[in-house]
Amino acid sequence: MPTFVIERAIPEASKLTHDELRDIARTSNEVVAGLGVPYTWLHSYVAGDKIYCVHETDNADTIREHARRGGFPADVVVEVAAVIDPSTGEEG
């Protein structure tokens, strides 16, 4: 299943409290459960004025529908082409 990175512009996202982040996560989980299609939210990074989410689903339109139903921005949605890490540089 394709993996997508979603960039969400949320002013002062890094200042959101644990309770606010919990509420966002709960809303996301509820929307995922109601989509009726394969969809997995893997994790998100909160940094500065953005939240970067990593989701798996069949297409970017489903990502946008998740955002619409949840009331989340989805400013940039891109499919991951490859994953690299330090071991990528090793001969093998």
Quick: pLDDT tens for 4-25.
Answer: 999 999 999 999 999 999 999 9
Residue 12: which residues within 8 A CB-CB, separation 6 or more? 49
The answer as to CATH 3.10.20.30 being correct for domain 3-84 is no
And the tokens for 9?
């512009």
Mean pLDDT calculated for residue range 40-55: 98
| Six token digits for residue 59 | 């297409």
Round the average pLDDT of the chain to a whole number and report it.
Answer: 96
Strands (E), the chain: 3-9, 39-47, 50-57, 76-79
Residue 90: pLDDT above 80? yes
Q: For residues 70 and 28, is the Cβ–Cβ distance under 8 A?
A: yes
C-alpha of 7 from chain center? 7
Task: Give me the pLDDT at residue 91, please.
Answer: 79
